[in-house]
Amino acid sequence: MRVFPCDRYRLPLPEGHSFPIDKYALLRRRLEEHAAAGAAIEFVEPHAATDDELARVHERGYLGRVMAGRLSPDEVRRIGFPWSRELVERSLRSTGAAVDAAAAALEDGIGASLAGGTHHAGSNWGEGYCVFNDTAVAAREMQARGAVRRVLILDCDVHQGNGTAEIFSHDPSVFTMSIHGARNFPLRKQASSLDVPLEDGCGDEEYLAALSPAVEQSFDRATPDLVLYIAGADPYEGDRLGRLRLSKQGLLERDRRVLGIARGVAVPVAIVLGGGYCREIESIVDIHAATILLAASRGRS
């Protein structure tokens, strides 16, 4: 399985910033160890998303302000990262990684970005550590290349995919499913094609009982040529922002069900990471690594 890491493109963050930027390099290192021991993982540098790719999703004015560093103080606050050249480069690479992972999935059956899941970015705004919406750009780019007609975005990050929902609200060719904490950020949710809101404290059993029918219904209604799967690590019980109580085993079972249902109908899957805000960064890496290793063990190449 080809995976597209972005950890070389680091962000300069203020001291004490809550974003766990180190998880990306730690995850790559962990996966390199598994690859050396025989796991079927090939690391490929992602391209930087192009203007054409971005403009299929984001308004030109917003793109111009991001590129030139002319975002308003309110826009910067909403994103949650100080603006820098490095932020722009990283955002371009992590968006490119989703596009590359989608293209790899269409060739190999499966592919993964080792970043992204930037689902809070809408057509003309960034929000919640998300500058560009990577899965939205990947979906539209695969359509523009004529590689797919219909796309399903399965968002299993604990936060609602409000940006993705807004972007595709009038586009029936992309089906958006979000399973998330009902009382979690963002406070004002957008309507996805299918939303599955969960109460605080929801554990493995309850989550999985809600997940399976929602994923099956999404496949039935979307009839997708490609799935983009946001495999967030933040429904984990140890997460600081998640409010749910899934165990690591529960999260792996989530991945198994999503990949199993996709495989059952022979639809390619591209994975992006999504969030993870546990204090023990090794736990976040455990969860993401388990997702990637499971996917790699099921890939065709």
Using Cβ positions, the residue closest to Zn ion within the complex turns out to be 275
Q: What is the DSSP string of 45-77?
A: PPPPPPHHHHHTTS-HHHHHHHHHT---HHHHH
Exactly one of 275, 286, 288, 296 binds Zn ion (CB under 5 A); that residue is 275
Give me 202's structure tokens: 């929801």
**Which residues touch 162 (CB under 8 Å, ≥6 apart)?**
119, 120, 122, 127, 186, 188, 189, 190
Segment contacting Zn ion by CB under 5 A, of 87-95, 145-153, 271-279, 291-299: 271-279
Binding mask 219-258 for Zn ion (x = CB under 5 A): -------------x-x------------------------
Contact status, residue 118 vs residue 94, Cβ threshold 8 Å: yes
Binding segment (CB under 5 A) for Zn ion, from list 11-19, 76-84, 205-213, 273-281: 273-281
157 binds Zn ion (CB under 5 A): yes
Choices 70-78, 153-161, 197-205, 247-255; region in contact with Zn ion by CB under 5 A: 153-161
Query: Which stretch, 28-36, 76-84, 268-276, 284-292, contacts Zn ion (CB under 5 A)?
Result: 268-276
Query: Which CB, 65 or 78, lies closer to Zn ion?
Result: 78
Nearest to 112 by CA among 94, 128, 130, 126: 94
Q: Is 7 in the site for Zn ion (CB under 5 A)?
A: no
- Give the residue, chosen from 2, 28, 30, 159, that forms a contact with Zn ion under the rule CB under 5 A: 159
Any idea which residue has 């404290």 for tokens?
Answer: 201
Residue for token pair 């689902």: 119
Which is closer to Zn ion, CB of 140 or CB of 159?
A: 159
Point out which residues bind Zn ion (CB under 5 A): 157, 159, 232, 234, 275
